[in-house]
Amino acid sequence: MRKNTTLILITAFLAIAALLAACATPQPTAAPTAEPTTAPTLPPTAEPTQAPTAPPTAEPTPEPTAEPTEEPLPAISLVDGLGREITLEAPAQRIVSLAPSNTEILFAIGAGQQMVARDSFSDFPADALELADIGGGFDELDTETILSLDPDLVLAADITAPEQIQALEDLGLTVYALPNPITLNDMYENLRTVALLTGREAEAEALIAELQARVAAVEEKLAGIEDRPLVFYELDGTDPNAPWTSGPGTFIDTLITLAGGENVGAVLDGPWGQLSIEELLTQNPDIILLGDAMWAGITAEDVAARPGWDALAAVQNAAVYPFDDNLVSRPGPRLVDGLEALAQLLHPEVFGE
């Protein structure tokens, strides 16, 4: 009986315990830990827009101004060697030269390309020979060719016959006559005049500076000389008893003096003349220069063979020399070449043989 009672009590205890357990609140369990995930991305927002700006204001339109116009160059107005006032509206671009000296000046200052024709005797520089030959000198000018070339300037010289100048002007052409220079300074002024007529002032000034420096170099070397040889310059010995020479007031006379000599022809009354053989024997030159060697082919041997000339000191001392007359008879920039050549002949002890 006791045994059954114990069993009943145990069974009841277990039932009550189970009932209590069923009524208890269950404890929450921890959720399993997941892999870390990226934070949720917010939907993209639009780029911030700039604050609205006012429409651009148009730049004020400047008042239309007239295009700057170049001032017309003033006309060129100069008095020529005949005392006439000659006017050009602009520097000449189509030039006819009537003298070799003019041609040499034009080329020397850079205006050779502005030439369209030259006289028959213009043979320097070589480029001049490519230009149209319109005659001149002692011959008639080819006015038909001159007119066909439509020159805006005809450049004459002291050797141009007045009637030729008049004939050209009667045809409506502009003719400027360069004066005949007596000194180197006069020649420089002629360079400046031609430069004004052709628009080549800068080139002319550069050339003049160079020429003046060369002249100064000759003068410096001759500054201390004491001996001044007597020089006879022969222009034309066709008549050996009365040859032509150059007198005072000529470039030949001037250059002989500058080169350290004395001119036999200085006794003449005018710039050109003939000297008798008697006058030559009286003066008895130390040096004879043959300006006619180039055009007439006269040689020292020819001079020695002339009657009476063998008595002259120059012939006896073999001091008879051919000379390029173009260097002293054409009043252009090559006169300085002539001065240098004369100085070397007259004073080899200073300039060397």
The DSSP H or E segment spanning 156 is strand 153-156
In this predicted structure, which of 10-24, 98-112, 148-162, 257-271 has the lowest mean pLDDT? 10-24
> Which of 48-51's residues contact partners 24+ apart within 8 Å by CB, and which partners?
none
Instruction: Give the pLDDT mean for 137-154.
Output: 93
Same domain, 289 and 241: yes
Above 80 in pLDDT, residue 159?
A: yes
Q: What are phi and psi of 241, to 5 degrees?
A: -85, -10
In tens, the pLDDT along 234-283 reads 999 999 999 999 999 899 999 999 999 999 999 999 999 999 999 999 99
pLDDT tens figures, 223-244: 989 999 999 999 999 999 999 9
Residue 232 sits in the same domain as residue 149: no
pLDDT of residue 138: 72
The answer to whether residues 202 and 93 belong to one domain is: yes
Mean pLDDT of 71-88: 90
> Residue 10: its pLDDT value, please?
39
331 plus 201 within the same structural domain: no
CA gyration radius, the chain: 54
Answer with the residue of higher pLDDT: 28 or 239. 239
Mean pLDDT of the 137-158 span: 93
Inside any domain, residue 35: no
Domain contains 70: no
Closest CA to 193 of 88, 80, 113, 92: 80
Q: State yes or no: pLDDT of 67 exceeds 90.
A: no
Instruction: State the average pLDDT over residues 165-177.
Output: 97
φ, ψ of residue 75 to 5 degrees: the values are -65, 150
Looking at residue 47, its pLDDT comes to 39
Same domain (yes/no): 200, 236? no
Task: Using DSSP bridges, classify how beta strands 85-88 and 95-97 pair: parallel, antiparallel or unpaired.
Answer: unpaired
Judged against a pLDDT cut of 90, whether residue 36 lies above it is answered with no
Do 93 and 199 share a domain, yes or no? yes
| Res 216 pLDDT > 70 | yes
Higher pLDDT, 242 or 40: 242
DSSP one-letter string for 34-90: PPP-PPPPPPPPPPPPPPP-PPPPPPPPPPP-PPPPPPPPPPEEEE-TTS-EEEESS
Is residue 63 in some structural domain?
no
Cβ atoms 304, 316 nearer than 8 A? no
Boundary (domain end) residue, out of 173, 189, 215: 215
Q: Which of 322, 258, 257, 333 is nearest to 288 (CA)?
A: 322
The CATH number of the domain holding residue 86 is: 3.40.50.1980
For the chain, the residue count is 353
pLDDT at residue number 96: 98
One domain, residues 185 and 300: no
Q: Spell out the residues 6+ positions from residue 256 whose beta carbon is closer than 8 angstroms to its own.
A: 231, 233, 262, 263, 342, 346
Domain boundary among 152, 184, 215: 215
56 lies in some domain: no
Q: Within this chain, do residues 117 and 207 fall inside the same structural domain, yes or no?
A: yes
Place of tokens 């160079």: 210
What value does the mean pLDDT take over residues 307-318?
A: 97
Per-residue model confidence (pLDDT) at position 320 = 98
Q: What is the pLDDT of residue 246?
A: 96
Pick the closest to residue 94 from 173, 159, 168, 165 (CA basis). 173
**Band of pLDDT at residue 127, cut at 50, 70 and 90:** very high
Kind plus residue range of the DSSP H or E element containing 132: strand 132-133
d(CA 309, CA 319): 13
**Residue 281's domain spans which residues?**
226-351
47 inside domain: no
Average pLDDT, the chain: 85
Lowest mean pLDDT of 28-42, 159-173, 193-207, 279-293, name the range: 28-42
φ/ψ of 274, rounded to 5, equals: -105, 140
Please indicate, yes or no, whether residues 193 and 239 belong to a single structural domain of this protein: no
Preceding amide of 125 cis, omega within 30: yes
DSSP state of 32: P
Separation of alpha carbons 297 and 272, rounded Å: 21
Least confident among 79-88, 132-141, 228-237, 309-318 = 132-141
pLDDT tens-digit readout, 314-340: 999 999 999 999 999 999 999 999 999
Contact predicate 193/215, CB 8 Å = no
136 in the same domain as 101: yes
Q: What's the pLDDT score for residue 6?
A: 38
Q: Which residues of 117-134 are buried (b: 16+ CB within 10 A; e: fewer)?
A: bbbebbebeeebeebeeb
| pLDDT for 224 | 87
pLDDT score at 145: 97
Q: What is the pLDDT of residue 56?
A: 47
Last residue of a domain, one of 188, 215, 242: 215
Residues 208 and 235 in one domain: no
Q: How many domains are contained in the chain?
A: 2
For the CA atoms of 300, 228, 313, 233, what is the dihedral angle to 10 degrees?
40
